[in-house]
Amino acid sequence: MIDSLWDSTPAATGREFDPEQIAELPLVARRYLEHAIAPSTRLANAVRLHMHGEIKLKRWLPFTAEQVIRRDRGMIWTATVRMFGLPIRGFDRLIDGEGEMHWKLFGLIPIMSASGADITRSAVGRVAAESVWLPSATCDAQTAWTQHDAGHVRARIVVARIATEVDLGIDDDGRLKSIALQRWGNPEDAEFHDAAFGGIADQERTFAGYTIPTRLRIGWHFGSARFEPEGEFFRVTVDGAAFR
């Protein structure tokens, strides 16, 4: 499934990144993109990530995962989470406008399965936020940029025909420091609604001309005192990235 999405992605043989192409964008947006994409780098159609970290499912559990984000189709995240040493395997995905999650103990015994309009809408917000791992996805005419101040810019990102506004905190060197958005979800295990979501980028690395965040802390209630004690549920380190 993840191999199929990656293998079917057209190779990045089109235009190269040229800072002159983004000269009309707000200053902070230019600073971010010029830091994230080296000049003359091919504008990639997809990224494939290898990662590990911890996910909070009542308690923090270790995971290893692989993810493909393809800007014209969506994403697949496949992972193995270990609970008391037992492997829970599955995936989250948004492909061609349809969101879905499936998780099984030992890859055999169903634990959780979900799909439908709420799952799709929530996945759209996730893909928009994770565009920071595929900066080339925001170098198109569909992405609109608005600068808030000298350190924050908003990107209006279209995923599956739905626009999501993602606020990026950018330092003086163009490095990503934070991500914030209103994402459809149910962090209180109640009805789905728009809720504050985002996180902090602590480290970055460069892969094949792309400089992306490689250590992040992500969750609900971002920007409030509830983030660390209640909302934070995902701590991830990206170990490798390939672009296509």
- Tell me the CATH number at 180: 2.50.20.10
**Region 18-23: what's the mean pLDDT?**
95
**Region 18-32: what's the mean pLDDT?**
97
Residue 191: φ, ψ to 5°: -70, 150
E strand map for 5-73: 46-57, 59-70
Query: What does the mean pLDDT of the chain come to?
Result: 96
**How far apart (Å, rounded) are the C-alpha atoms in residues 130 and 116?**
21
Domain of 6?
2-243
What is the pLDDT, as a whole number, of residue 71? 94
What is the pLDDT, as a whole number, of residue 114? 97
Q: How many domains, the chain?
A: 1
What is the pLDDT, as a whole number, of residue 108? 84
For 166-212, the pLDDT digits (tens) are: 999 999 999 999 999 999 999 998 899 999 999 999 999 999 999 99
Looking at the predicted structure, is the pLDDT value of residue 14 above 80?
A: no
Residue 40's pLDDT band, with cuts at 50, 70 and 90, is very high
For 134-154, the pLDDT digits (tens) are: 999 999 889 999 999 999 999
**How far apart (Å, rounded) are the C-alpha atoms in residues 180 and 196?**
7
What is the pLDDT, as a whole number, of residue 19? 96
Confidence (pTM): 0.96
What is the pLDDT, as a whole number, of residue 244? 96
Residue 86: closest CA among 107, 65, 71: 107
